[in-house]
Amino acid sequence: MLNSALPPCGQRHSLPHRATHGYAADTPRTFLRGASLRHTHLLALLLLLLPAGLPAQFSVGGQLMQRSEYRNGYGKLIARSAEPAVQIGHRARVHVRYDHAKARFHVSVQDARPWGASVQTNTVEPYFSLYEAWAELTLGPSWSVKLGRQELTYDDARFLGNVDWSLAGSSHDFALLRFERKGTKVHAGGGYNVGAESLTEQPYTVGNRYKAAQFLRVEQRLGGFTGSAMLWANGLQQLHTDTAGNVTGRTMRYTYTFGLPTLRYVRGRVTTSAFLYLQLGQDRTGRTVQGHDAGAWVTYALPLDTARGSGFRFTVGAELLSGTAQDATDAVNRSYDPIHSTKHAWNGYMDHFYTGGRWANSVGLFDAHVRLRYDVGRRTFLSLNAHEFHAAAAVLRNGAPMDRRLGTELDLTVGHLLNEVVSLQLGYSHMLPTATLEHLEGVTDPAAMQHWGYLAILYRPGMKDRFTGLRF
């Protein structure tokens, strides 16, 4: 499960706490003690806007994450002459929520930045933003519609996720219609984006966002089997300009991603999982897209001491993301793009592949992996992941083919629950690259050691996900 710590047999880590509608009842006092004056004033305004006299239906919550990192090859191989980066990241979120029999209302604001990015006497805060703002209306026993800025997280976040590892996270301006009854779920929706209010149609120039999107997902559970089917249409606007840089026209180009994102069967201690995505349509430049992403893995869970919550979990699997060969002679883009995925959790925690757009339109990736996890008890776990990476398509150097093997990555993670509010998360990763990866990343003289480590402290009262960015 992504972004959470799970002991064997599918039970979540949990500690006693008082909660209302999923948020800790004592959260306001705990969280706001360290909140900035600006955040407190905004929260107070939100409180005034909500209906009075209904305290049982109103909740306030938040989270704070502080993560220190040592980067010496994280994201890209570091050159021998370069200095490693040391930094501390910070994310604070405050949310308010109102629950009614006919509707729910949720607003979340956040401050996300590295330490030192703002001056001490700062009067303008560029890192403060609205993360979520949605209302969900109940239309019947099984129907609801959710409107506004919201997270979209499905199917282990392989294609749609909230990108919880990153400081800023990810949310969509979206309308979502939901039908849920027993083991059946049907979600459908879409979004249409503009850069600003205007009286006439204007070019959409907001970076790294779709102009329009449509979404349909169906899930069915039958006994130990869970399956889902999904379609996502991602519409990007291409601007045409003249020699002076003036916009002369606009073209909408759609990439369609569809498939079976969850195929899971649980029988006793063994869980078998698989997924398949296909990608067709056009990319932003007008090339035909023909990509695919397929993965499968088997997990065996062995409880050791149910009273203490200790156990062992072993997973073996592989994933293939298609790529475009460097000796291709046609104009087809065969590079699959996990567009809105929580990418950090999947192909190694050092984020060399797909995170931040670093592996887009590439030769693709084959990732064979083994994941080991030991739950010491309900409060502490240790995990070790090993990845063997290969290019999915041909790689050339000076016209000659290269070995497709890219390297091996080892990821060690330790997580510990201090109490019902605070979690500690520690990680260390080591990359053993090949000459092929050095060539593809354009690093001619890499450092002998390519590694990365971090220590994170997470304050998440009342939240079920006590850790972040992990996949077990």
Residue 1 in domain:
no
pLDDT tens, residue by residue, 12-49: 344 443 333 333 334 444 444 444 455 555 555 555 55
Residue 469 in domain:
no
pLDDT at 386 over 60: yes
The mean pLDDT value for 416-427 works out to 96
Beta bridge partners of 427: 413, 454
d(CA 310, CA 327): 51
DSSP code, position 436? H
Residue type, 81: S
What is the Cβ-side half-sphere exposure of residue 305, based on CA atoms within 13 angstroms?
8
Tokens 């050339």 locate to 396
d(CA 375, CA 383): 9
pLDDT tens, residue by residue, 428-441: 999 999 999 999 99
Q: pLDDT-based confidence at 127, cuts 50/70/90?
A: confident
Instruction: Report the domain count for the chain.
Output: 1
pLDDT of residue 211: 95
Residue 375 in domain:
yes
Transcribe 297-323 into DSSP letters. EEEEEEEEETTTTEEEEEEEEEEEE--
Whether the Cβ atoms of residue 164 and residue 3 lie closer than 8 Å to each other = yes
Residue 201 in domain:
no
d(CA 189, CA 172): 11
Domain ranges, residue 54 = 8-116+127-193+208-459
Q: pLDDT-based confidence at 131, cuts 50/70/90?
A: very high
Q: Which residue has the higher pLDDT, 232 or 47?
A: 232
Q: Which residue has the higher pLDDT, 328 or 295?
A: 295
**Structural tokens at position 14:** 């949990």
Return all residues near 122 (Cβ < 8 A) that are at least 6 apart.
none
Tokens 């890192």 locate to 127
Residue 203 in domain:
no
pLDDT of residue 121: 76
d(CA 318, CA 298): 10
pLDDT tens, residue by residue, 159-206: 999 999 999 999 999 999 999 999 999 999 999 999 999 998 888 888
Residue 472 in domain:
no
Cα 362 to the chain's mean position, in Å?
A: 21
E strand map for 25-73: 58-72
State whether residue 106 is helix, strand or coil.
Answer: strand
Whether the Cβ atoms of residue 131 and residue 94 lie closer than 8 Å to each other = no
Whether the Cβ atoms of residue 445 and residue 319 lie closer than 8 Å to each other = no
Residue 2 in domain:
no
Q: In CATH, what number is assigned to the domain containing residue 270?
A: 2.40.160.100
The pTM (predicted TM-score) of the whole model is 0.86
Residue 319 in domain:
yes
